Structure 1
Amino acid sequence: MAPRSLASVSEEPSVNDHRRLGRELELFDTDPLMGAGLPYWLPDGAVVRHVLEEYVREVERAAGYRHVYSPVIGKRELYEISGHWDHYSDGMFPPMELGAEQVVLRPSLCPHHALIYRSRSHSYRELPLRIAELGGMYRSELSGVLGGLTRVRAIQLNDAHIFCTLEQSVDEARAALELIGRVYADLGIRAARYRLSLPGEGGKYAGDPAVWRRAGALLAEVLDGAGIAYEAVEGEAAFYGPKIDVQVVDSAEREATLSTVQIDFHQPERFDLHYIGRDGARHRPVMVHRSLLGSVERCVAHLVEVHGGAFPVWLAPVQLAVLPVSEAQEEQARAVVRRAVRRGLRAELYGPGDGTLGARIRAARLVPYQAVIGAREAGDELAAVRLRDGRQPGAVPVAGLLDRIAQRVADRGAGLWAAA
């Protein structure tokens, strides 16, 4: 049976549904006074989000992207130029009056990045110019499709725009697709399928049909060159151009788009973008849109379901739980926590005041590493190690344990305890 659309069902959450797990694990929650589709992040969820954001910034920097910040509002005129006002206003919040002007919460980052590009003159020698941002955007989603972190009204988007020559556009789009594959491998995400999203019937789509066909052909070339099987689907394109959508499936077998790559001729034309070519003349750049993670909210929702809350070591909210057997070992346990934190690890004390040792072990069941410290361990600078997967490697030196965990975090490895 084909996966269902993310917005097509609203059934009771399954065991691994991120809405249930996210609240049980105290990652996020909502409040009616904040409003539907506006979740807030609790401390453990904020850790996951922060680590994920820093990770993707690191990946992007290594791939030659420069990061920017841009405002979350813009004048209505900006979105009239970009085409959002004519083709996407149903998904935007109403304008706000600001003196004689109207300003709008942005539904997308691309118009702002087009202005950033336009603010300076550019030579062909600078291209490709890769601009990235983890930025807020806002969609006026109907209340009937909102749910958990997958459909929200305030979105933190991992977005980037590459300004390049036509000759560079296929290579840049292909490199973006490869980067998505690398990120998925690090996060343990599996793509369900790849979709070439094309225009359908109606007036939703802006621009010349010939330009659309050109952009679609380039994206097909990217997919074919990468040897990726895909399905071409009409009616799923953005209003300004076709796109490659990387689809994932959630715990209820509903399908959603997580990552995208787009080749856009429309907005460079609308914003009159140009660069000076080798011939000294002005030329129009191509704008490649790409998002490795999609929205941080939807990505975290998917990760919660993929891992059932048992995140990879480098992404786990708490990486090491330190459990003194009794109050006599509590100070030694606190010292281990302090040492771990100095190493850059996320460690917490599960002390005797939190219940019996068995109860504390169960409470820390999703923490990758548990270090139990009894009288013998405290006297010899040891920790009796328990792993999240049930294995018990036994008593090891605390320094060695911290080295192992730090190395596993640095490697972003999937395993917990390889042979020394």
Structure 2
Amino acid sequence: MPRRRRRESRRADTCCPKPRGECPGASCCAVARPSPRRPEETAVHDHRKLGRELDLFDTDPLIGAGLPYWLPDGAAVRHALEEYVREAERRAGYRHVYSPVLGKRELYEISGHWAHYADDMFPPMELGGEQLVLRPSLCPHHAVLFRSRPRSYRDLPLRMAELGGMYRSELSGVLGGLTRVRAIQLNDAHVFCRPDQVADEVRGALALIREAYAALGIEASRYRLSLPGEGGKYVADPALWQRANAVLTEVLEDARVAYEVGSGEAAFYGPKIDVQIADAAGREATLSTVQVDFHQPERFDLGYTGADGARHRPVMVHRAVIGSVERAVAHLIEVHQGAFPAWLAPVQLLVLPVSDGQRPQAEALVREAVGQGLRAELADPAAGTLGARVRAGRLVPYQAVIGPAEAADGQVSLRLRDGRRPGARPAAEALRLIGDQVAARSAELWPAAG
């Protein structure tokens, strides 16, 4: 096995999504832009500080750098996010798969990752005379899944999605919070399609990304058409690059999406559309991406039977709606400052009995809310005065106060996170209204006519 090299020049930007050795410096998508906040404000809004204060995630030297663990509240946010994207993909015609996080070294030699990404991959593990590698990407696995069965033109487009783990051997100096980690949970998908279907699949992927950003309450800082630069790290096939670039440009122009061109930002196998976000310090990073790939279908000798009975080569469209779950949650923490949309909130309903006398009714309401699919908790009267408990739960979207009058009438007095008080109403009605807002993944806390 050739000795793995460690490049000496490595930027300290923790938000750069590029593999080691691919970050060109000032032109990189993680280049720092002027911060919209003063340094002391940036520190307050930094997800690394907020995430720990809110008990969402943390790290431990015994587990290792770049390997954060998720606490219960953070796991609830992550689970809600993953369920959202799975459902959005299902509605868009994607079929979900699972594939192993390990693969033989030969798999990545075929895909080209071993030649281009070896410095970013963990060393192979010797097992039974074979070398197994933690995967740095999901696309080789999905290519193998595609070729595992005969395919017809009638099967295409075949949209294959997976929320899967991948691993990058990052240097400790570039790791930070959730934005740059070694174990990544990626919202990945690969569409195998005919050449005449590529543009529509790219359009569909961009539509999914815009829909997700609206639901999550986040905005793109800009769109970038990422093209190859100088050097030998890119696949040497000008005709394939030209074809892929033409498709992406056509889709962006037809959609009237304002974009910038980034030379040297492409994947080694093809150009891509990168959707950029900015963190609390104003630094940019890629969250979502759509890529057109003519290279890997050829490397894996993928094929389908056309209407003419002949064998044809499919095109592979790579796309990630929310990118890595870690980076997405990091951005959501900073954007919402812990006040997540109700459907994402770790605790959606906090039930507050005024005193122990209303505790039985409060506990019954929590059980009913949990049974209806809400994340609900009891604010124990022993934890302090009603005012103190209300303040402690200020980030919870909905608070239900039960005093003697409410307990007697089977009602709750609702308080919303934004300060509104819809007033007392039957407990069942309150749960129904809250449940409807959560199920709709609405950005509003309360229905206009509620």
- TM-score of the two chains, using structure 2 as the length reference: 0.91
Which amino acid counterpart does residue 393 of structure 1 have in structure 2? P
Partner residue in 2 for 1:264: 293
- Encode CA deviations 1:300-334: one digit per residue, 9 max, x unaligned: 11111111111111111111000111111111110
2:124 paired with 1:105: no
Give the 3-state SS of the residue equivalent to 1:331 in structure 2.
helix
SS at match of 1:74: strand
Structure 2: distance between partners of 1:322 and 1:3: 50
Q: Deviations over 1:138-178 (max 9, x none)?
A: 01112111111111000000000000011100111111111
CA shift for structure 1 position 342: 1.3
Q: Shift of the alpha carbon at 1:394?
A: 2.0
Question: Which residue type is aligned with residue 297 of structure 1?
Answer: E
**AA partner of residue 105 (structure 2):** R
Indicate the residue corresponding to 2:197 in structure 1: 168
Aligned to 1:224: 253
* RMSD after superposition: 1.7
Q: Post-superposition shift, 1:189?
A: 1.3
Pair 1:72-2:101 in alignment: yes
Query: Contact between 2:413 and 2:423, CA under 8 Å: does it hold in 1?
Result: yes
How is 1:328-367 mapped onto 2 (pairs within 5 angstroms)? 328-367=357-396
Residue 321 of structure 2 aligns to a residue whose secondary structure is: strand
Distance 2:417 2:352 in 1: 14
Pick one of 299, 305, 313 that aligns with 1:276. 305
Query: Which of 209, 212, 219 lines up with 1:183 in the alignment?
Result: 212
Q: Residue type matched to 1:408 in 2?
A: Q
Separation in 1 of the partners of 2:43 and 2:322? Answer: 24
CA 1:7–1:136: 2 relative to 1, 3 Å: farther
**Partners of 1:7 and 1:135 in 2: CA distance:** 28
Inter-partner Cα distance in structure 1 for 2:180 and 2:254: 33
Q: Give the Cα separation in 2 of the matches to 1:5 and 1:206.
A: 21
Tell me the alpha carbon deviations over residues 213-272 of structure 1, each in whole angstroms, 9 at most, x when there is no partner: 221111111111111011111111111111000001111101000000001000000000
Which amino acid in the other structure matches residue 202 of structure 1? G
SS at match of 1:293: coil
The farther-off stretch of 142-151 and 283-292 is: 142-151
Does the C-alpha gap of structure 1 residues 3 and 210 become closer, same or farther in structure 2, counting only changes over 3 Å? closer
TM alignment of 1:113-262, pairs within 5 A: 113-262=142-291
| CA deviation after TM superposition for structure 1 residue 407, in Å | 0.6
1:373 partnered with 2:402: yes
Residue aligned with 1:26, SS = coil
Task: Tell me, yes or no, if the aligned pair for 1:158 and 1:293 is still in contact at 8 Å.
Answer: yes
In structure 2, how many angstroms separate the alpha carbons of the residues matched to 1:70 and 1:132?
10
**Superposition deviation, residue 26 in structure 1:** 0.5
5+ residue gaps, structure 1, are none
Q: Is the 8 A contact 2:189 2:320 kept in 1?
A: yes
State, as a whole percentage, how many aligned pairs show the same letter. 73
TM-score (norm 1): 0.97
Spell out structure 1 runs of 4+ moving beyond 6 A: none
Query: In structure 1, the residue corresponding to 2:66 is in which secondary structure?
Result: coil
**Structure 1 match to 2:449:** 419
Shift of 1:419: 2.2
**Higher deviation after alignment, 409-418 or 150-159:** 409-418
Q: Does structure 1 retain, via aligned residues, the 8 Å contact 2:29–2:286?
A: no
How far 1:203 moved relative to its partner? 1.1
Q: Which shifted more, 130-139 or 91-100?
A: 91-100
- How many corresponding residue pairs? 419
1:124 Cα deviation after fit? 0.5
Contact in 1 for aligned 2:32/2:284 (Cα 8 Å): no
Gaps of at least 5 residues in structure 2 are 1-25, 34-38
Query: Compared with structure 1, are the counterparts of its residues 163 and 47 closer, same or farther at alpha carbon in structure 2 (3 Å cutoff)?
Result: same
User: 3-state SS of the aligned residue for 1:317?
Assistant: coil
- Which residue of 288, 292, 300 maps to 2:321? 292
Amino acid aligned to 2:421: Q
1:81 pairs with 110, 118, 127, which one? 110
The CA distance in 1 between the partners of 2:415 and 2:27, in whole Å, is 38
